[in-house]
Amino acid sequence: MKFAVFASGFGSNLQAIIDAVKNGEISAELALVFSNSRKAHALKRAEEAGIPTLCLEAKDYLTPQSYDRDIVIYLKEHDIDFVVLAGYMKLLTPFFVKEFPDKVINIHPSLLPSFKGIEGIKDAFTYGAKVTGVTVHFVDDKMDHGPIIMQEALDVKEGEPLESLEARIHAIEHKMYPRAIQLFVKGKLKIQGRKVLVLEK
């Protein structure tokens, strides 16, 4: 199988995925890294790893759907089987999701459905949550909403600074995301309504 990673920023989850593919923990080809920002460090990570890159910026398009249409055309021309979002700070259109049904995966730094959006860690911290964590889920046409593949919780330590919590959550992400991707690659995930069954580890 061939997959693409979409990233908008620093790309630490991308790096964990690159390493997992290299180490054989993900038995699929990372064939493309896409970004919606030419400033994304993720593109540099991909180039250093010898992975093809593509960058298109939404400001060059009249509508979100026309933007996503060009991305989809490129993905299909290059036989991409599924898409992994890793810090991709742009909502996919219903058109995109329909073109890759149950084939887009996302990771979010909170225990969904709590603290959706781009500041999941900070929002949980500011709210005073005692427990937060990480969620990997399938993507549908709503933000941080699709069926949940796996979650891992962690306690927020008394008096812990935000930076420490961010570091601990990112450490969980970097281990958890490759595991979830490999389950998908091996056909071990079955969606039943809102639930995702793991057929066998």
CATH fold of 2-196: Rossmann fold (3.40.50)
Residue type for 168, please?
R
pLDDT at 26: 98
Q: What whole-number distance in Å separates Cα of residue 162 and Cα of residue 157?
A: 10
Q: What whole-number distance in Å separates Cα of residue 201 and Cα of residue 187?
A: 11
Domain residues of the chain, as ranges? 2-196
Nearest CA among 154, 82, 103 for reference residue 124: 154
The first and second tokens of residue 180, run together, are 């979830």
pLDDT tens column, 65-109: 999 999 999 999 999 999 999 999 999 999 999 999 999 999 999
Backbone torsions φ then ψ of 137, nearest 5 degrees: -145, 160
The overall average pLDDT reported for the chain is 97
Whole-model pTM?
0.95
Split at pLDDT 50, 70, 90, the class of 200 is confident
Average pLDDT over residues 18-30: 98
**ω into 64 cis (within 30 of 0):** no
Split at pLDDT 50, 70, 90, the class of 121 is very high
**ω into 178 cis (within 30 of 0):** no
The first and second tokens of residue 197, run together, are 């069954």
Residues tagged active-site: 108
Average pLDDT over residues 35-64: 97
